Amino acid sequence: SYELTQPLSVSVALGQTARITCGGSNVEIENVNWYQQSPGQAPVMVINRDSSRPSGIPERFSGSNSGTTATLTISRAQVGDEADYYCQVWDSGTAVFGGGTKLTVL
Amino acid sequence: EVHLVGSGGALVQPGRSLRLSCAASGFTFDDYAMHWVRQTPGKGLEWVSGISWNGGKTGYAGAVRGRFTISRDNAKNSLYLQMNRLRPEDTALYYCVRGPDSSGYYFDHWGQGTLVTVSS
């Protein structure tokens, strides 16, 4: 079965740029979606289809996908961005999530 | 505004059954596929099942196939998950989730979840 690999944690200084990676075999041919889950809350979609930003999501959030790694980039990181982030793709009719990355803003 | 309100979660013994429901509002329910995604306490997300807009197409994760059945009633704007032969590893928060397709694209709105605990 297809697997997506994310780092357990990423730290970023306030106002700097955070990059969260999602690795998978030839992931560049997949449409990668990203979800933010703040503590005690349900997930919220922040990027879909690699790089599309839904309405209401700040422009500071962007996505890219190349080779074996998809990346969620958060510019000018804020305290409110502290959350768990999950990548997701579809494989043979099954949705697959990465293990999640905890973002800490220092 | 999209609202997805799950219900039916409970403490249940292994081997028993449970039916989850999800009431949808704020959008045209039969324009969308729907899904159940679960999250084990303190851990990650796991897709459970999805159903197309008219119920004609369903999909299941391997861990639940043959035990769980997803269904919907478009007249009632409701989604269901019938869970049979429950196991301790089914313990999780179950989210009702909206998506453009039953086996593709993304999950664009999530409910708050209903908690299922399987324990003797």
Residue A92, amino acid: S
pLDDT tens-digit map of A6-16: 999 999 999 99
Predicted confidence at residue B109, as pLDDT, reads: 97
Lowest mean pLDDT among A17-31, A33-47, B60-74, B105-119: A17-31
Chain B contact present for A21, CB below 8 A: no
Partner-chain residue, chosen from A42, A54, A97, that has the shortest CB–CB distance to B47: A97
**Which residue of chain A comes nearest to B46, CA vs CA?**
A97
Q: Is B2 helix (H, G, I), strand (E, B) or coil?
A: coil
pLDDT tens-digit map of B46-74: 999 999 999 999 999 999 999 999 999 99
Chain B contact present for A85, CB below 8 A: no
Partner-chain residue, chosen from A1, A48, A96, that has the shortest CB–CB distance to B106: A48
Q: Give residues with Cβ within 8 angstroms of A28, minimum separation 6.
A: A65, A66, A67, A68, A70
Lowest mean pLDDT among A74-88, B25-39, B47-61, B94-108: B94-108
Predicted confidence at residue A25, as pLDDT, reads: 86
List the single best residue of B65, B98, B107 to mutate versus A (max A Cβ within 10 A): B107
Chain B contact present for A5, CB below 8 A: no
**Which residue of chain A comes nearest to B62, CA vs CA?**
A94
What separation in angstroms does the CA of B119 have from each of A102, B27, B94?
29, 36, 16
